[in-house]
Amino acid sequence: MNTVTLIGGLTRDPELRKRGETKVCDMRVAESNGRKDSPLYINISTFGRQAETCKEFLAKGRQIAVTGQLRFREWENDEGQKQSEHTIAADRVDFLPSPSGKKESNGSEQA
């Protein structure tokens, strides 16, 4: 079984792109697990309509909960050096509420 679930804050605004005919939204989440000094930075990818929704409603600093599959890829950069990364291919992204009274990233206010 390959299932990952995490909660974290976006470190930058989501980026939407197309891979063929499929829309892909790339995000990066900082997950601290209670540690203030050494957060874990994790790349997240969403696809299709979910990618569009993430781009439209999420922004840097927003907390999200993600469930998906861990993926690994390798490639060579322009200098011929091998590169690799782990990414979570999200099956589900839940937008978590902001603390009471703070403005949401899409401009609406939480009660």
pLDDT tens sequence across 66-79: 999 999 999 999 99
pLDDT for residue 89 is more than 90: yes
Tell me the whole-structure pTM to 2 decimals.
Answer: 0.79
How distant, in Å, are the alpha carbons of 3, 39, 46, 96, 103 from that of 100?
A: 31, 24, 28, 12, 9
Pick the CATH number of 4-95 from 3.30.300.30, 2.40.50.140, 1.10.10.10, 1.10.630.10: 2.40.50.140
Joined together, the tokens standing for residue 19 give 């891979």
Give domain limits for the chain. 4-95
> Stretch 49-77: mean pLDDT, rounded?
95
